[in-house]
Amino acid sequence: MNVEITRLSNGLTIATEHMPKLESAALGIWVKTGARDETGGEHGIAHLLEHMAFKGTAQRSARRIAEEIEDVGGELNASTSVETTAYYARVMRDDVPLALDILSDIILDSQYDEGELEREKHVILQELGAAEDTPDDIVFDHFQAAAYTGQIIGRPILGTRQSIASFSREDIRGYLNRNYTPDRIVVSAAGAVSHAEVVARIEAAFGSLPAAQVAAAATTGDLASYTGGDFREERDLADAQIVLGFEGRPYYARDFYASQVLSIILGGGMSSRLFQEIRESRGLCYAVSAFHWSFADSGIFGIHAATGEEELAELAPVIVDELMRAAEGITEKEVNRARAQMRSSLLMSQESPASRAAQVARQLMFNGAPIENGELLDRLAAISADRLADLAGRTFLGSRPTLAAIGPVGRLPTIDALTDRLRGDAPAGGRLASSR
């Protein structure tokens, strides 16, 4: 790893990693702010701002932004998450200055034209409609909302039809000025890049921004509090989408990497426990996987499955039983396989400049510094089978479950019945009560 880091006097961080023999570069501006930094009346504004950044500056129209980057064969895009917003480009070596100029321009000088704003609101409303018509996507929004009941962190990133329609350009500027402060910005580049050149151009563009006041830079939302919960929506669909989850670990927790390993063992591939038992041995679903989402102060461990109505009543108890078996013991063979998967994923991602730039940016935002490969591999090596079994017990038996389901879900057991089974209170060999 050869990451060079420069911090400007106003708090903005610049990181680059030169990757020899590459002729292209990936670069972007990452901001440590996202949907959870919205106020109660700003639901969806972080995502709307990300869209509006491409709709014209004082120097460039929306069309010119698109044409300039595509004239050189480059790509430009952005994304909004719960805690971050990213604007990124992929270009050839000689076009790095152009990409930096465009990215700086759309962050610093977007005009938020009223006509463009109304058109983009319509686009997002279409996006909302598309999401609602995609059960295997929208079920995760309902899952997070149930896990963090009544909290901003649990709200869907896209917002609602009512909130999107209400926003003005002044609302967007208010969110921008409050959250896009230099101490929250990381410029990261990897590939055919020169650190000195990137620093010079970013300092010229952003160096005059005043350092943020502590009060202005504070996160809008309160600390996340996992609650657990239950959401079900009966729909006339061919299959049911269900997500069962538990309280996970934040980025900074000791068990962060262990939770990632545990998710691989349970549902990270075709050799995983859930895939082998539920799909291969029993044929109860066509898709099953496990995941672990981390935030700055909380996390969720979840299992997603898609199955038919007739299989649903049997599927949920089998998932619960597999989680309980994980708490009873994990084998060294499983740990070694999961380590190999994580190691390969880590090293393969570093062959991609886009993946590398994003990885360094995230590590700087949430860890304060890039994490060396050796340190990551040492952390993985320290994770034992006994520790994973203990983590499984604390995770699956130590918090109230969260359940979200969409489709023909009438046969799905109640969350109380699933909780009783996890606690060992279900009748031996008995069928769990369904919600029907």
| Rounded CA separation 414/316 (Å) | 10
Distances (CA, A) of 225 to 246, 290, 398: 12, 22, 15
Check if the beta carbon of residue 144 is closer than 8 Å to that of residue 17.
no
Q: Token digits for 102?
A: 């465009």
Check if the beta carbon of residue 17 is closer than 8 Å to that of residue 4.
yes
DSSP string, 208-276: TSPPPPHHHHS-SSPPP----EEEEEE---SSEEEEEEEE---TTSTTHHHHHHHHHHHHSSTTSHHII
- Does the annotation mark 50 as catalytic? yes
15's enclosing H/E stretch is: strand 13-18
| Rounded CA separation 361/357 (Å) | 6
Among candidate residues 17, 38, 42, 50, the one labeled active-site is: 50
- 3-class secondary structure per residue, 153-198: HHCCCCCCHHHHHHCCHHHHHHHHHHHCCHHHEEEEEEECCCHHHH
Q: Position of tokens 């620093």?
A: 199
Q: Which residues are catalytic?
A: 50
